[in-house]
């Protein structure tokens, strides 16, 4: 449920380091399950600057609208435009086809990011 | 009783060539068609062809599937779905009102103007504020009017103000209104008791700090145009520090807007003008018993202080009183005051939704001041009766005292995989309209119940019984709840597909 090669935030975003100075960002399996069926994802434009913890988009489900918070500093280098036609991919494949943006990193990753085990423990505590 | 449960679209009932009305042959020369070619319809195939009885049956059947206040309790939290007294309709239908024209000369519609003026006076008294416009057509239109008044006030005073503070428990329309009026929105944290927090609040799960009113005011002081607050708030909790909130905003030169959507909990008991509010709207289609659609549009009058009065939309009805002799009945004339150079302009065609103003004033007169107060107290008692009866059956996430509505959630039922949506859908099987769900968003899986004063104890008991039965079913037969509603003409709607791939109109095959 929480792949070991990813890093996580307490706002339920995941981040994958691509090894070329960019990272891929999405929301976790826990987040998509809590939101329910995703019907719309609003993403930023390529080139937009992100700050760690700042909001960069919205994900809308049949139940609610939730903001997306950036897990890093940097500039948007790609967005997953397919989600416009296929918002269900966020539910079906949160870590794969459901990715949301790629970010060209500016500076180091925050030390606050969690590894898979720490995130799982956080989620288990929150859902109690 | 519907013998046939299915009803196709009117387009699907259509048979080419069938006609409902046989028009006589044209026996005068046809008028010259001056429309440009691209505006002319060349084919009428897209319009359904049905007989008159088919049309009547189709729409009658659809109307029977509708659910409204006249069929049963409609406990939609925040919406105040209360009874629309028939007396309101009778008065609004009097020919002197119903057949008058908005462009008629003042001298011919003195009664209409007197009615508008009288309602303005009632609303001033109820809100404790100095001036009223009846133009805005509903709550959000009232909000925008109010925030534009705040903006006009700052501009007239030569102050550049760019921010509006909004508590995170606010109605969703509040941030939208502020943004539409050109302001940047800054969120104010709520405390554990559900009300506006002066102190910063740390989220126990994430460790994130959300700023409270004190630090936001210190940080932004002379950038703050105002604060928008809903009182009682969307959890039904009275903002018990409202006077301090208003003072803190006033101290930095800001103004306070109150969303009066929940005014049904205050009328005759507390006046916003007395606790420091500068400007607010009221929803006549909530608090003053005018219909929510179906029977007509809404109305969202705005009341404000003397300082904001010059900016109100124009015109306002004013009353001139002729000086007369001792002991004689004073003679009043009413007129439109258009001479308001600082006005923000019009916010509605003519003078607002006049039909709603007639109904609202009828409601005021038929209750009187004491009756309006009694209605408020009964609305609060009714909501608290439900709260007391369902406590322990459904989880009450925030336990502060509440007024006219109560917010439960699905925490107890979630362990059986029964969620808010399932509970709401099952209520349909018990003959009740579901409450507001998944709102306010500060409560996970919210079930927001507002019975209003319209319901008798017997009706409240029937609702409580249904909710208790559903809680029992959640333990014993969760699958039934997943399938609910099972008795409605249509079963569980596929909301996901409807949102992802909406079909907005019928298309020919």
Give tens-digit pLDDT for B221-255: 999 999 999 999 999 999 999 999 999 999 999 99
Q: Would you say residue B207 lies in a domain?
A: yes
Strand pairing class (A49-50; A55-61): unpaired
Q: Would you say residue A78 lies in a domain?
A: yes
Q: Which helix (H) or strand (E) holds B472?
A: helix B457-476
Query: From the candidates B172, B173, B205, B206, which should be mutated to test the interface with A, based on the most A CB atoms within 10 A?
Result: B206
Confidence bin at B294 (pLDDT 50/70/90): low
Omega cis (within 30) before B315? yes
Q: B486 by DSSP, 3-state: which?
A: coil
B214, B224 contact by CB (below 8 A)? no
Do residues B379 and B253 share a domain?
no
Q: What is the mean pLDDT of residues A51-75?
A: 92
Beta-bridge partner residues of A75: A49, A104
pLDDT over threshold 60, residue B190? yes
Mark yes or no for CB contact B205/A126 under 8 Å. Answer: yes
- List CB contacts (< 8 A) between B448 and chain A: none
Do residues B126 and B227 share a domain?
yes
- List CB contacts (< 8 A) between B440 and chain A: none
Task: Check residue B300 and give its pLDDT.
Answer: 96
Task: Check residue B1 and give its pLDDT.
Answer: 46
B424, B346 contact by CB (below 8 A)? no
Which region among A18-22, A54-58, B67-71, B258-262 has the lowest average model confidence (pLDDT)? B67-71
Nearest CB to A10: which of B206, B438, B499?
B206
Do residues B415 and B315 share a domain?
no
Mark yes or no for CB contact A37/B496 under 8 Å. Answer: yes
Question: Which residues form the domain of B237?
Answer: 87-365
Do residues B179 and B293 share a domain?
yes
Do residues B398 and B430 share a domain?
yes
Q: Count the residues in chain B.
A: 509
Task: Fill in the DSSP letter of residue B98.
Answer: H
Do residues B483 and B444 share a domain?
yes
Q: Would you say residue B36 lies in a domain?
A: no
* Domain CATH for A69: 2.40.50.100
Nearest residue on chain B to A36, judged by CA atoms?
B496
Mean pLDDT of chain B: 93
Query: Who has greater pLDDT, B381 or B326?
Result: B381
Percent of chain B with pLDDT over 90: 80
pLDDT over threshold 70, residue B16? yes
Task: Check residue B273 and give its pLDDT.
Answer: 98
Q: Would you say residue B465 lies in a domain?
A: yes
Q: Would you say residue B41 lies in a domain?
A: no
- The pLDDT tens digits of the residues spanning A109-118 come to 999 999 999 9
Q: Would you say residue A63 lies in a domain?
A: yes
Beta-bridge partner residues of A23: A17, A103
Mark yes or no for CB contact B205/A125 under 8 Å. Answer: yes
Instruction: Report how many domains make up chain A.
Output: 1
Nearest residue on chain B to A38, judged by CA atoms?
B496
Is the complex ipTM higher than 0.85?
A: no
Tell me how close the Cα of A115 comes to any Cα of chain B, in angstroms. Answer: 15
Angle CA(B358)–CA(B60)–CA(B44) in degrees, nearest 5?
A: 100
Do residues B358 and B423 share a domain?
no
Question: Which residues form the domain of A103?
Answer: 8-108
- The pLDDT tens digits of the residues spanning B62-79 come to 888 888 888 899 999 989
Do residues B346 and B379 share a domain?
no
- The pLDDT tens digits of the residues spanning B303-351 come to 999 999 999 999 999 999 987 788 888 889 999 999 999 999 999 999 8
Any chain A CB within 8 A of the CB of B421?
yes
Q: Which helix (H) or strand (E) holds B33?
A: none
Query: From the candidates B438, B443, B496, which should be mutated to test the interface with A, based on the most A CB atoms within 10 A?
Result: B496
pLDDT over threshold 60, residue B2? no
Do residues B359 and B389 share a domain?
no
Q: B123 by DSSP, 3-state: which?
A: helix
Instruction: Report how many domains make up chain B.
Output: 2
User: Measured on CA atoms in the order B384, B388, B393, B394, is the torsion positive or negative?
Assistant: positive
* Domain CATH for B435: 3.90.1150.10
B474, B481 contact by CB (below 8 A)? yes
Confidence bin at A65 (pLDDT 50/70/90): confident
Any chain A CB within 8 A of the CB of B144?
no
**Dist CA B441 CA B420 (whole Å):** 13
pLDDT over threshold 90, residue B205? no
- List CB contacts (< 8 A) between B206 and chain A: 10-11
Nearest CB to A63: which of B205, B206, B438?
B438
Nearest residue on chain A to B203, judged by CA atoms?
A10
* Domain CATH for B189: 3.40.640.10
Task: Check residue B3 and give its pLDDT.
Answer: 60
A66, A38 contact by CB (below 8 A)? no
Any chain B CB within 8 A of the CB of A52?
no
pLDDT over threshold 50, residue B393? yes
Window B:206-245, CB contacts with A under 8 Å: 206-208
Any chain B CB within 8 A of the CB of A118?
no
- Return the axis-axis angle of helices B173-180 and B139-156, rounded to nearest 10°: 40
Q: Which helix (H) or strand (E) holds B409?
A: strand B406-409
Mark yes or no for CB contact B205/A88 under 8 Å. Answer: no
What's the Cα-to-Cα distance from B448 to each of B49, B86, B369, B420, rounded to whole Å? Answer: 44, 28, 29, 10
Q: What is the mean pLDDT of residues B483-507?
A: 89
The tokens 């139940």 sit on which residue?
A63
Beta-bridge partner residues of B409: B395, B446
Mark yes or no for CB contact B499/A40 under 8 Å. Answer: yes
């Amino acid at each position: 449920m929480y792949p070991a090669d990813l890093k996580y935030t307490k706002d339920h975003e995941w981040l994958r380091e691509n090894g070329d100075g960019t990272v891929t960002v999405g929301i976790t399996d826990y987040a998509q399950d809590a939101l329910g069926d995703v019907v719309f994802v609003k993403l930023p434009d390529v080139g937009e600057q992100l700050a760690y913890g700042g909001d960069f988009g919205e994900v809308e489900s049949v139940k609610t609208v939730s903001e997306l918070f950036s897990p890093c500093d940097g500039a948007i280098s790609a967005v997953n435009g397919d989600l416009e036609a296929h918002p269900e991919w966020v539910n079906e494949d949160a870590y794969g086809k459901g990715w949301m943006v790629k970010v060209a990193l500016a500076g180091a990753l925050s030390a606050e990011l969690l590894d898979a085990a720490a995130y799982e423990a956080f989620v288990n505590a929150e859902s109690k | 009783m519907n013998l046939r449960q299915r009803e196709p679209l009117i387009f699907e009932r259509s048979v080419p060539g069938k006609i409902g009305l046989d028009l006589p042959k044209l026996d005068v020369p046809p008028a010259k068609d001056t429309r440009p070619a691209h505006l002319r319809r060349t084919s009428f195939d897209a319009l359904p062809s049905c007989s008159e009885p088919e049309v009547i049956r189709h729409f009658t059947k659809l109307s029977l599937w509708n659910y409204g206040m006249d069929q049963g309790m409609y406990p939609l939290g925040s919406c105040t779905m209360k009874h629309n007294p028939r007396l309101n309709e009778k008065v609004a239908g009097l020919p002197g009102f119903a057949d008058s024209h908005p462009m008629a000369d003042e001298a011919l519609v003195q009664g209409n103007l007197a009615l508008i003026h009288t309602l303005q006076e009632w609303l001033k008294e109820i809100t404790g504020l100095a001036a009223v416009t009846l133009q805005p057509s509903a709550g959000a239109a009232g909000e925008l009017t109010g925030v534009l008044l705040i903006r006009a006030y700052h501009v007239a005073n030569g102050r550049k103000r760019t921010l509006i503070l909004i508590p995170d428990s606010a109605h969703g329309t509040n941030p939208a209104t502020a943004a539409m009026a050109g302001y940047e929105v800054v969120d104010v944290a709520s405390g554990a008791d559900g009300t506006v927090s002066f102190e910063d609040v740390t989220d126990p799960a994430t460790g994130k700090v959300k700023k409270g009113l004190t630090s936001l005011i210190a940080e932004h002081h002379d950038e703050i145009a105002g604060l928008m607050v809903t009182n009682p708030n969307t959890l039904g909790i009275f903002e018990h520090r409202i006077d301090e909130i208003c003072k803190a905003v006033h101290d930095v030169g800001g103004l306070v807007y109150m969303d009066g959507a929940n005014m049904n909990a205050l009328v005759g008991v507390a006046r916003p003008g007395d606790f420091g509010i500068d400007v607010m709207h009221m929803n006549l289609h909530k608090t003053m018993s005018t219909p929510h659609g179906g029977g007509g549009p809404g109305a969202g009058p705005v009341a404000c202080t003397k300082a904001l009065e010059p900016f109100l939309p124009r015109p306002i009805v004013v009353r001139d009183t002729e000086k007369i002799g001792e002991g004689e009945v004073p003679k009043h004339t009413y007129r439109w005051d258009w001479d308001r150079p600082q006005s923000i302009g019009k916010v509605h065609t003519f003078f607002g939704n006049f039909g709603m103003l007639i109904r609202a004033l009828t409601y005021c007169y038929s209750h009187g001041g004491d009756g309006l107060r009694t209605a408020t107290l009964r609305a609060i008692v009714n909501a608290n009766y439900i709260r007391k009866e369902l406590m322990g059956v459904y989880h009450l996430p925030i336990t502060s005292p509440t007024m006219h509505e109560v917010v439960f959630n699905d925490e107890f039922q979630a362990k059986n995989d029964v969620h808010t949506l399932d509970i709401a859908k099952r209520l349909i099987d018990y003959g009740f309209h579901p409450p507001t769900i998944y709102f306010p968003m500060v409560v996970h899986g919210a079930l927001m119940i507002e019975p209003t004063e319209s319901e008798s104890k017997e009706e409240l008991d029937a609702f409580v019984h249904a909710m208790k039965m559903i809680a029992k079913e959640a333990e014993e037969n969760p699958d039934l709840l997943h399938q609910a509603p099972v008795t409605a003409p249509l079963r569980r709607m596929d909301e996901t597909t409807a949102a992802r791939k909406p079909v907005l109109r019928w298309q020919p095959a």
